[in-house]
Structures are given as structure tokens and as C-alpha cells.
Amino acid sequence: MDESERLEILTEASRRRTFAIISHPDAGKTTLTEKFLLYAGAIAEAGAVKARTGRRDTRSDWMAMEQERGISVTSTALQFEYRGAWINLLDTPGHRDFSEDTYRVLTAVDAVVMVLDTAKGIETQTLKLFEVCRSLGLPMLTYLNKFDRPGKAPLELLDEIEDKIGVRPTPMTWPVGIPGEFRGVIDRVTGVFTRFERSVRGRTMATEVPLDASVAAAEEGPAWENAVDECALLEAVGATHDQASFLSGKTSPLFVGSAMNNFGVRALLDAVVDLVPSPSPRRSIDGELRPLDAPLAGFVFKIQANMDPSHRDHVAFVRICSGRFVRGVTLTHAVTGRTFSTKYASSLFGADRSTIEVAYPGDVVGLVNAGELRIGDALYARNPVVFPSFPQFAPEIFRRVRVKDPGRAKQFRRGLEQLEREGVLQVLYELDGDPLPVLAAVGEMQFEVFHYRMEHEFGAVVEFLPTPYRVARVISSDGAALLGRIPGVRVLRRGDDTLLVLFESQVRLQTVERDHPEVDFGMLLGSGFPAFT
């Protein structure tokens, strides 16, 4: 690699901002995602998000089930340009049942935007999401959403964030007016007051009217005086932005607004460009940092089938970690050692995609029809590298599954294999005996997604049968041979050949552990995001 190519890679990487939006369900995460696209000019009107080709809708909730239910059940990648920066935005499902998918996405980003509902503040899933962000060393911006509705006082929310999460919020904008009577925000850096004017149903950018302090004081009266007093208090206690403490995860720049009405969206998007770090060297499994200008390398953090129903294909989402990606380059698949062609490479925009010719560290590239790739796999050119693998979460619900129509057995097997590869849920197989596989999931909604997609994407209607199992542990083959004969215990094989032993209750597990201290039980990660060490 010559010096000019090295300089190109480093320059382009410095323009990348790769981040995820996280929140508790219904906090407004998907709405904020759409409004980022509006303010970046990637879409012309919110609420009727047209694909760049004009062929179909392409919003962050692109899956039919998501649009029908009004929930996010899968993560989505969106790439667009704003103020000279290339933004790679990953929208995540907020529901606890899809926490494993969210965790994988968070390993592929450099920062997060946490969205809080002003009325609800820190909720259980919000706290668990932050624990993962902290374990991964991700700096975090905070957005207090729905401030145009009644809710908690902003100072109360600041205390709640610091008490429950342990990170100190440093407001960059501060509201004038109480929740539900939102007038606008004061920029704490410039001191300028911006008043927002609603657009029709929030479809277009909100009009922003900057006013100087004297005009704001005259027109806003007590609301202005209260906001100024609170800003003085924030200054006195040192709640001001410091980039080093933000990058280290000690503080979180905070913004106030209403995503539905486009209030405060521009300021937050500007902060993504100004504050979020550009990509940095990634650590390999052996602990070494791979420089950004090292030979090309990346890892698969998501697999998604049937994004284009007319072609029934599947896409591997790859985070570029080093080097310059050029479409058609031949890479090595770290798991198999075989070569891998990247002829069909795409830039992702929800369900829409377009051919990509070049990409740099921080970018997310979609590799189409990459059948041999699995989540966590590394791809590299020249210098071999393997990145840390993704953990699998401990399932809590176990059900057998079968296809209702035996004539659709082929479609059932194909769908089962594909959805397992995507990580929709874990599929467990008997070592011998009952041919019906066992589906293992964190939450009920994973079964709903599986049922829906099997019917609508693979043409195989399935039914679930109950099982008595409640707890799972990883086990060695020696341990499996010993425990497989114990009543109330079942040893099954996961698709990746890992052996799992299932118990009917936590008490049964504890009894077996006491009676067989010679057996080593491996722990799966606790569902819903545990605290990592």
C-alpha cells in the first residue's frame, strides 16, 4: 500500500460517523431515525418515506410485520451524507425479546444515541442497554424526546440519569417551558434561543426562529427566566460538555426536543457530526489493534433474508474495520480459509440498496447472497485476522416446532436453516429420538416473528408444541454423556454443534450441580443484556 492510498483511507475514515439509536420501546427511536433522514436530505418528506429510486417505501421499519404491528423487530442500516460526513446509522429493535440482535449491532458502531421518553425517564430496558454500551466502551448522546407532552421536570431527569446509569448528563440545549408547554431551547454554547414552529404532522422540517436574549425575555416571560436560572445552575455545578469525558463514557451530551414535531432534531444530528468519534482501530481476538490503514478487513454482524421479496435473497451486513473496500475484491473467509468474492456488494438504505463501488473503515457494506457467511465471521485481505465472537444469550422459552402441512417440509427446512443463521432464535436438535427441533428464545415475540416469517417468506405454516424446559446451560460431550440419562434433563445440539443441557427448573439445575460437581456447566449470557465483566 503506497502513501497516497494510506492517506486516502485515513481521510475517508475521519469522515465516517457510525452509530446506533437505542431506546425503550415507544420512546420514539424509529421516529427520530426517520427525522434524521429528513434533515439530512435523504428523504423529502417524513411519514411517506420514498425510496431513492421511487420504487417502494424504505423506512427503518421496512419489514411487513413491523409496519403492521408498529414495532421494530430487526435492526436496520441506513447510510447517508450530511455536512460532508458519511453517516452510518443503525436503528435497533428496542424490545427486550430482540436484545441479542441489538447487542450484535452495538458491536459494530462507534457511539450511540439514547432516546428517553420525557414522561417515563429511565426504564428497565434502557438501563440494560446502557450496561452493554458501557461494557463495549461506547460514548453516548442523550435525547429527551416528547418534551411537547406532559412529563418529568428536566432537572429531575438529569438526576435520574446520573443516579440510575452512573453517567453525568451535560445538556447542550436546555428547554424553555415545562414539558407539555415547550417553547424552544437555549443553546448552552452560544446562548441563542431557538423557537420552533410546527409543520403539518411533522412531515417537513420545523421552522426554527433564533431570538436574542432580550427579545426572548420579553416574549417568553417567566418561562425564559426559569430556563436562564436553570442554565446558571448547570454552569455552577459543572454540567458542561467535555469531549474527553464524553469519549470515555463518563458524561453524555444531552439534547431536548420532540422527534414527532422535528424539534431539536437538527441540533442532535449536528452533534453526531461534531462529537461522535470517527472509526478507530479494532481489537482482534488476540488482543492486537488492527490499524485503519491495514489491509482490508471486516466482520459480519447481521444476516437478513428476503429484504428483496422478488429475489428471495439474503444479505450479510459487514462492518469495514480497516483498509479500502472495492467491489469485486477477493477476500479470505477466516472460518473456512476459502476465498470469497464481493461482486455483489451494496450500500444499504433500509430495505433499499444500491451497488457500492468503494467503502472505508466505519462503513456498513451489504454482501448479497453470501450463503457461506455466518454472524461473527471475519473477512480479510492479505493479513489474517479474527475478531472477537458474539455471545449467544441464555434462552428462557423452549418449544418444539413442526410444519402443519407435511408437503411443505422442504420449505420448512429451508426457512428453519435461514432463520437460525440470522439469529432470529436458537434451534436445538435431538441427539437421537424425536425429530422435531426445539426452538429456544429469550421472549415470546421471537416466536411470533418466526411464525410470521415462515408463513409469509417461506410458505410453511408452523405450529408450536410446549416443552417442560425452563433453563439451559452449555455442556461438554463428556458431561452430556453423564447427564443425558437423568430424568428431567435433556441434552440437545445447537446448529453450531454446541451441546446444551436443558432443565425443567432452576431448582432441578441446582440439584444436578450439587449431585454432579465433576460436571462443568458453561454459562450463556443472561437475556435482556446483563452487566458484563
CA dihedral of 334, 418, 93, 38, whole degrees rounded to 10: 80
pLDDT of residue 55: 34
500: phi then psi, degrees, rounded to nearest 5: -120, 135
pLDDT of residue 288: 95
- Alpha carbon 8 to chain centroid, angstroms: 29
pLDDT of residue 531: 32
* Residue 193 known to bind ligand: no
d(CA 382, CA 346): 23
* Residue 30 known to bind ligand: yes
Task: Please say if the pLDDT value at position 527 is more than 70.
Answer: no
Query: Which domains are present in the chain?
Result: 18-72+94-275 (3.40.50.300), 282-380 (3.40.50.300), 397-515 (3.30.70.3280)
* Residue 95 known to bind ligand: yes
Averaged pLDDT for residues 503-527: 82
- Window from 91-105, 142-156, 194-208 with minimum mean pLDDT: 91-105
Q: In sequence order, which ranges of 423-523 are alpha helices (DSSP H)?
A: 444-458, 477-483, 506-515
229 burial (CB, 10 Å; 0-12 / 13-18 / 19+) is exposed
DSSP string, 181-205: S--EEEETTT--EEEEE--GGG-SP
pLDDT of residue 58: 40
Task: Please say if the pLDDT value at position 61 is more than 70.
Answer: no
Instruction: Considering only the C-alpha atoms of the chain, give the largest distance between any 2 of them, rounded to a whole number of Å.
Output: 81
Decide if 446 contacts 404 (C-beta within 8 A): no
525 burial (CB, 10 Å; 0-12 / 13-18 / 19+) is middle
Task: Please say if the pLDDT value at position 50 is more than 80.
Answer: no
Collapse the DSSP code of 119 into the 3-class scheme (helix H, G, I; strand E, B; otherwise coil) and give the result: coil
Task: Please say if the pLDDT value at position 237 is more than 90.
Answer: yes
Convert the pLDDT of each residue in 458-490 to its tens digit.
999 999 999 999 999 988 888 888 887 788 889
pLDDT of residue 461: 97
* Residue 27 known to bind ligand: yes
Decide if 80 contacts 104 (C-beta within 8 A): no
Higher local confidence (pLDDT), 434 or 237:
237
* Residue 91 known to bind ligand: yes
Averaged pLDDT for residues 123-147: 88
d(CA 178, CA 227): 9
d(CA 5, CA 493): 47
* Residue 308 known to bind ligand: no
Higher local confidence (pLDDT), 107 or 101:
107
Q: Which residues pair with 171 in a beta bridge?
A: 254
Which range has highest mean pLDDT (72-86, 217-231, 480-494)? 217-231
* Residue 363 known to bind ligand: no
Give the confidence band of 38 by pLDDT, cuts at 50, 70, 90.
very high
* Residue 25 known to bind ligand: yes
Give CA separation, 20 vs 221, 354, 411, 436, in Å.
Answer: 38, 21, 34, 37
Give CA separation, 314 vs 345, 366, 449, in Å.
Answer: 12, 9, 17
**CA geometry: angle 282, 284, 288, nearest 5 deg:** 85
Q: Which amino acid is at 92?
A: T
Decide if 140 contacts 129 (C-beta within 8 A): no
* Residue 314 known to bind ligand: no
pLDDT of residue 198: 87
Averaged pLDDT for residues 266-290: 97
Task: Please say if the pLDDT value at position 321 is more than 80.
Answer: yes
Task: Please say if the pLDDT value at position 523 is more than 70.
Answer: no
* Residue 92 known to bind ligand: yes
**CA geometry: angle 248, 249, 254, nearest 5 deg:** 125
pLDDT of residue 529: 36
Kindly state the cell numbers that stand for 423: 439469529
pLDDT of residue 93: 73
Convert the pLDDT of each residue in 329-381 to its tens digit.
999 999 999 999 999 898 877 667 788 999 999 999 999 878 789 889 999 99
Collapse the DSSP code of 69 into the 3-class scheme (helix H, G, I; strand E, B; otherwise coil) and give the result: helix
d(CA 142, CA 161): 10
d(CA 320, CA 301): 11
Convert the pLDDT of each residue in 282-299 to its tens digit.
999 999 999 999 999 999
Decide if 479 contacts 517 (C-beta within 8 A): no
| CA-based torsion, 61, 66, 70, 76: positive or negative | negative
Nearest Cα neighbor of 491 from 503, 506, 505, 507 is 503
pLDDT of residue 309: 59
Kindly state the cell numbers that stand for 484: 443425558
* Residue 35 known to bind ligand: no
Task: Please say if the pLDDT value at position 383 is more than 50.
Answer: yes
* Residue 23 known to bind ligand: yes
Decide if 188 contacts 171 (C-beta within 8 A): yes
* Residue 24 known to bind ligand: yes
Q: Mean pLDDT over all residues of the chain? A: 88
Kindly state the cell numbers that stand for 10: 485515513
Give the confidence band of 113 by pLDDT, cuts at 50, 70, 90.
very high
pLDDT of residue 308: 62
Higher local confidence (pLDDT), 300 or 304:
300
Q: Which residues pair with 345 in a beta bridge?
A: 367
* Residue 94 known to bind ligand: yes
- Alpha carbon 79 to chain centroid, angstroms: 14
pLDDT of residue 125: 74
pLDDT of residue 496: 83
